[in-house]
Amino acid sequence: MTLAELDSQQAASLAEVTAAADAAALEQVRIKYLGRNGLLPAIIKQMKEVPAADRPEFGKRVQAWRAALESALAERVADAATGKKERAAFDCTLPGRWFAPGAKHPVSRVIEETAAIFGRLGFTVADGPDIETRFNNFTALNTPAHHPSMDASDTFWLTDDRLLRTQTSPVQIRVMTSHTPPVRIITPGRTYRRDTTDATHSANFHQIEGLYVDTKPVSLADLKSTLAYYAREMMGAEAGVRFRPHFFPFTEPSVEVDFSCHVCGGKGCRVCKMSGWIEIAGAGMVDPRVYEHVNQARGDHAYDPATVYGYAFGFGVERIAMVKYGIPDIRWLYENDVRFLSQLA
């Protein structure tokens, strides 16, 4: 055997150690090379046939080979014993692991699209906690103490003063208390009401509030054009809006906002209950009493009802998702059924 052959044999033996799949295969490699009738003892026995001049170098390389092989084997055997992943067990011909592709939840989708649409109009996203104070959720929003929404049968009260917010409107109070006008915000978030769950009600749902307050005139027409833009961006270029008079304690005048039915285009169908319109939001001009409560909380007069103008609106996220994607039952949004959720992928 020449020196070159010796080197290539050494490389082959080390490759076999690397390729061995388990402890038994490693033992086979050991026997093949280092065993009593193995290759290395055989080579040593044939040393006398190596030309005398090469013999010292040959002997040195055989010893180095034995050392390298023994340590490579020892290392792999130890790996196998400790359960460390066997490198050679990797089979590159196996198909890869398949992860079911997820899809964004319709509620997240509506929130993100809404934030993007209002973002183009200069609105930023504001946030507030799910646990609110009586002041932020009711009092500052000009809701009288006898108002039915404050009743324990409608609201989850935690203490006399703390509750799970029934609407995202308290974020209006938080933002105005901490910022001087102009403010232009939307606030997506969870809301809670003591509703019995059915196809259109859930005790926990999401709202998106909007608030624009400025020191220059802001009118109901601005509100209408803003919501009309949102309707077109969200529901399609043909979408229209209409306002109907309504009452909210914290806006004056107040309106309910309908979007034209995107299914029938306003002709009347099952989705819009033949009316051509779908009820979407509550809205109105911010009531001066709200500014007064805010000023009191701030301890200044930054929101002077005589010189500050603003509108607010609020709508249900689930409602938009159900209308937009044709979801007939609100509960489908909370059941985590991938057959339903993956349809928007």
Total chain residues near ligand PHE (CB under 6 A): 11
Instruction: Give the other-Cβ count within 10 Å of 63's Cβ.
Output: 12
What's the sign of the alpha-carbon dihedral 146, 152, 155, 160? positive
Nearer to ligand PHE by Cβ, of 65 and 315: the residue is 315
Taking CB under 6 A as the rule, does residue 123 contact ligand PHE? no
Asked whether the beta carbons of 140 and 173 are under 8 A apart, the reply is: yes
**3-state SS track over 147-215:** CHHHCCCCCCECCCCEEECCCCCHHHHHHHHHCCCCEEEEEEEEEECCCCCCCCCCCEEEEEEEEEEEC
Taking CB under 6 A as the rule, does residue 118 contact ligand PHE? no
Stretch that binds ligand PHE, among 40-48, 232-240, 276-284, 293-301 (CB under 6 A): 276-284
- In angstroms, what CA-CA distances link 337 with 100, 130, 201, 340? 13, 26, 19, 6
Using alpha carbons, select from 91, 68, 60 the residue that is nearest to residue 13.
68
Stretch that binds ligand PHE, among 29-37, 56-64, 79-87, 310-318 (CB under 6 A): 310-318
Nearer to ligand PHE by Cβ, of 50 and 227: the residue is 227
Angle 122-128-132 (CA atoms, 0-180°, nearest 5)?
145
- Give the residue, chosen from 227, 278, 313, 333, that forms a contact with ligand PHE under the rule CB under 6 A: 313
What's the sign of the alpha-carbon dihedral 326, 331, 332, 334? positive
Residues in 166-185 that interact with ligand PHE by CB under 6 A = 167, 169
Q: Taking the complex as a whole, how short is the minimal distance between the CB of residue 314 and ligand PHE, in angstroms? A: 3
Q: Taking the complex as a whole, how short is the minimal distance between the CB of residue 322 and ligand PHE, in angstroms? A: 17
Stretch that binds ligand PHE, among 107-115, 118-126, 177-185, 277-285 (CB under 6 A): 277-285
Q: Taking the complex as a whole, how short is the minimal distance between the CB of residue 244 and ligand PHE, in angstroms? A: 13
Taking CB under 6 A as the rule, does residue 312 contact ligand PHE? yes
DSSP label of 304: -
Stretch that binds ligand PHE, among 11-19, 64-72, 292-300, 311-319 (CB under 6 A): 311-319
- Give the residue, chosen from 58, 212, 248, 291, that forms a contact with ligand PHE under the rule CB under 6 A: 248
Nearer to ligand PHE by Cβ, of 10 and 166: the residue is 166
Site string for ligand PHE, 282-301 (x = CB under 6 A): xxx-----------------
Phi and psi, residue 84, nearest 5°: -65, 140
- In the bound state, the residue with its beta carbon closest to ligand PHE is 314
DSSP label of 139: I
Q: Taking the complex as a whole, how short is the minimal distance between the CB of residue 292 and ligand PHE, in angstroms? A: 17
How far is it, in rounded angstroms, from Cα 91 to Cα 93? 5
Site string for ligand PHE, 202-221 (x = CB under 6 A): -------x------------
- Give the residue, chosen from 251, 260, 278, 333, that forms a contact with ligand PHE under the rule CB under 6 A: 251
The SS3 call for residue 316 is: strand
Contacts for 294-303 with beta carbons within 8 Å, 24 or more apart? 294/140, 294/173, 294/176, 294/177, 297/135, 297/140, 297/173, 297/177, 298/176, 298/177, 302/180, 302/181, 303/176, 303/181, 303/213
* Amino acid identity at 187: T
Residues in 25-54 that interact with ligand PHE by CB under 6 A = none
Stretch that binds ligand PHE, among 4-12, 43-51, 58-66, 280-288 (CB under 6 A): 280-288
Binding-site ranges for ligand PHE (CB under 6 A): 167, 169, 209, 248, 251, 282-284, 312-314
